[in-house]
Amino acid sequence: MRSEMDSHRIDAKDLRFWLRWLLPIAVACILPLFLNHSWLSVLIEVGIMALVGSSLNLLFGYAGMVSFGHAGLFTFGAYTVAILLHYNYAPFYIACILAPLATSLFSIIVGWFCVKRVEVYFALLVLAFAQIVYMVAYFWVDFTGGSEGLTMLPVAHFFESPTSVYYLTVWTVGICLFVLYAIGESPFGYALRAIRENRERSEFIGINRKRYILLAFIISGFFSGIGGTLMVIHERAAFPGYAHFMKNAEFLLVCLLGGMNSFIGSTVGSFFYVISDTMLTRYTEHWPIILGGTIVFITLFFRGGIMGFLEKRYDLFKRRREELK
Amino acid sequence: MSFDFIVLQLFSALSQGALIFLVAAGLTLIFGTLKVLNLAHGSIYMIGAYIAYTVANYMGGIIGHFYIGIIMAAVVAGLFGGVMEAFLIRPLYKLDMHFVFLLTFGVIFIVLYLVYIVWGALWHSITAPDYLMGAMNIGGVFLPKYNVFLIILSFIIFAAIHLFINKTKLGLIIRALTADRETVSTLGYNVPMTLTYVFMFGCALAGLGGALAAPIRVIVPGIDELALLDSFIVVIVGGFGSITGALLASIAIGLVNAFSFLAFPKLAAVFPFILMLIILVVRPRGLLGKPI
């Protein structure tokens, strides 16, 4: 099950490796020719979800730490941009750069508390921070706009058309995913895997668990902040609902649906999740029951996620072919 | 601040704590014994509230229809929990804990939507019998009778659980299960069955909490969330699996809620979480939890 994630190395000379990255981006760049604006906005949400999902997977899939509060980091990034723009504290482009950095700073504080503990305690500590973000966004009406959020934000003129937001999302998410992939394949990524496989033994071989997890948490927070920034550019608004309790689990669901043991899993999962969510809400009012049922079904019968399933099929196919030879 | 006012605040903290305790006791019992965190605990609380509403309304004319509703709520919630444990959670014990996390998260959606279908999105309410309504005069301070009833009932339930866990044979087996499941199994006790009982009992408590909260709160889809978050905080502050800890933590959260609301009305909802953070950092095993 772990094979896909652990087998690829970055090889700059390998043409197939670069094709795997550039081909999807090229396809994504052609898509606006065929799709209307409502589909583009769905795809933008897929991209944002994929970015936050993959950054969560750095902790969840690689290091085996379940974080139950990534929506808090995502929202912190979103509200940083929103507040900077709403009160004219900073020009648009500066705000977009400041937000992920501010989220990283916030992750340092959150992470400092959270990495002291493991397993459930870790998950719930992060959740506590996410809830605090939610409560502050919801109740501090004078500053954050309360339940109505901050709307009509002055986004740069260029990003008022959905197509340009779409291209921005494609390239930002593409580059961020590549960086996340490179981090995952670096010695640092392998140290995280060691922590996942056996916490005690990894400490015996000299891996400072807390420091590694904290660093992974900060990196994860940085990319979640970028996700939040993109969300604000896309919606031109920020709502407390971004940090809602359910949103946390949505990010985890995306990782598990696609397969947490594969890097591309979260992206595949967010494609599946966002598009089926949009279709379901469009065509049936019974969508929560289908969503809930899917989650239950996956956890009971389908634990490797989509990528895990495909891999198993592919292995079977390869073995059959060898037998025929 | 006058003396009366402070007494009233303390009393409101205590009655809020009593309600939180009923729900959280179930969660902490389940977590302590089964080692799984049931995210659908709030949903079971909601089911309890709705069942109590339906039964109490249906039995309208009969004497004691309010109590029948409450008992039925506990029974239905317990049965629902039993089915959930036996068919959904049991296959996942061998795996990592986050699968149970996720599964019960899915159950939240299913229950929420079923509630929408059956009872609709409107608000419902139950009225308690007349003799539990109104205020009573205790030493010159007027206190709502229903809240006094809640506090007394919660203490009785606390005492009952405490005696059950510490003095009966089944309680002994449950305590042994927390320590070592395999050894209990080799001694010839039916471990999966006992785990199901514990889960059912915890869910029945949640259902009871939902039913008892109904006369002073509203019944509407979505009440599950608040109940779940409150119980989370209690379980962590009190210590996993400790019933006495859960009682202390519930009262502490009642106090924090009541008094932070006076000081910072806008950000009052944040304070229970800050209490939880402080406890997790200073004393991660909770007030009365076993060392980890």
CB contact under 8 A, A296 and B106: yes
User: What is the spatial distance between Cα A325 and Cα A304, in angstroms, rounded to a whole number?
Assistant: 30
Say whether pLDDT at A3 is over 50: no
Minimal C-alpha gap between A290 and chain B (Å) = 8
Nearest to B99 among A245, A288, A299 (CB): A299
Minimal C-alpha gap between B134 and chain A (Å) = 32
Q: What's the average model confidence in pLDDT over A276-283?
A: 80
Q: What's the average model confidence in pLDDT over B140-160?
A: 88
Return the number of other C-beta atoms located less than 10 Å from residue A211's C-beta.
11
**Could you report the per-residue pLDDT of B22-46, keeping only the tens digit for each?**
999 999 999 888 888 888 999 999 9
**Could you report the per-residue pLDDT of A94-115, keeping only the tens digit for each?**
888 999 999 999 999 999 888 8
**Could you report the per-residue pLDDT of B54-96, keeping only the tens digit for each?**
998 887 777 778 888 899 999 999 999 999 999 999 888 888 7
**In chain B, positions 118-147, which contact chain A (CB-CB < 8 Å)?**
none
What percent of chain A is modeled with pLDDT above 90? 26
Number of H helices, E strands in chain B: 11, 2
User: What is the spatial distance between Cα A236 and Cα A171, in angstroms, rounded to a whole number?
Assistant: 19
CB contact under 8 A, B98 and A288: no
- On whether the CB atoms of residues B18 and B250 are closer than 8 A, the answer is yes
Residue that wins the pLDDT comparison between B122 and A101: A101
What's the pLDDT score for residue A154? 81
What's the pLDDT score for residue A180? 92
Per-range mean pLDDT, top range of A21-25, A87-91, A183-187, B177-181: A183-187
CB contact under 8 A, B109 and A300: no
Tokens of B20: 């939180």
**In chain A, positions 230-259, which contact chain B (CB-CB < 8 Å)?**
245, 249, 252-253, 256
User: What is the spatial distance between Cα A299 and Cα B95, in angstroms, rounded to a whole number?
Assistant: 10
Nearest to A288 among B88, B102, B112 (CB): B112
Say whether pLDDT at A56 is over 80: yes
Per-range mean pLDDT, top range of A287-301, B145-159, B218-232: B145-159
Nearest to B273 among A123, A131, A286 (CB): A131
Nearest to B269 among A119, A135, A141 (CB): A135
Where do the domains of chain A lie?
Answer: 3-245
How far is the CA of A197 from the CAs of A61, A183, A202, B129, in angstroms? 11, 18, 8, 58
